[in-house]
Structure 1
Amino acid sequence: MTELDAPARADELASLARVVREGVGRLNWRMRTEADAPAPGPTVLAVLSRLYRGGTHTPGELAEAERIHPQSLTRVLASLTSRELITRAPDPSDGRRSLLDITAAGRAVLREYSVQRERWLASAMDRTLSPTEQQLLRLASELLVRVAEA
Structure 2
Amino acid sequence: MRTNEEAARQILHGAALLATRARAERAGKITLSQTGVLRHLAHSGALTPGELAERLRTQPQSLSRAFAALEDQDWIRRRPDPADGRQSLLEITPAGTEVLAAEMRPRELWLAGALESLTEAERDFLVVAAGLLERLATEEY
Question: Is the TM value for this pair above 0.5?
Answer: yes
Q: C-alpha distance in 2, partners of 1:109/1:80? A: 10
**Bigger Cα Rg:** 1
Q: Secondary structure at the match of 1:129?
A: coil
Q: CA deviation at 1:132?
A: 2.1
The secondary structure found in structure 1 opposite 2:67 is helix
Aligned residue number for residue 127 of structure 2:
138
What is the CA–CA distance in structure 1 between the aligned matches of 2:80 and 2:55, rounded to whole Å? 20
What root-mean-square deviation, in Å, do the aligned CA atoms of Structure 1 and Structure 2 show? 1.9
- One-letter amino acid of the counterpart of residue 112, structure 2: A
1:1-150 correspondence runs (5 A): 12-35=3-26, 37-38=27-28, 40-126=30-116, 128-150=117-139
Shift of 1:92: 4.3
* Larger RCO (CA under 8 A, 6+ residues apart): 2
The alignment of Structure 1 onto Structure 2 pairs a total of residues equal to: 139
Amino acid at match of 1:142: G
More helix by share: 1
Question: Taking every aligned residue pair, what percent have the same amino acid on both sides?
Answer: 42
Contact kept in structure 2, 1:32 and 1:39, CA below 8 Å? no
Q: Distance in 2 between matches of 1:43 and 1:144?
A: 21
SS of 2:3's equivalent? helix
Name stretches of at least 5 consecutive residues in structure 1 with no aligned partner.
1-8
C-alpha deviations, 1:20-70, integer Å up to 9, x for none? 1111111111122223x3153332122111111111111122222222212
C-alpha change, 1:24 and 1:96, in structure 2 (3 Å) is same
Shift of 1:131: 2.0
Q: Deviations over 1:107-146 (max 9, x none)?
A: 11111222221111011110x2122222222221221122
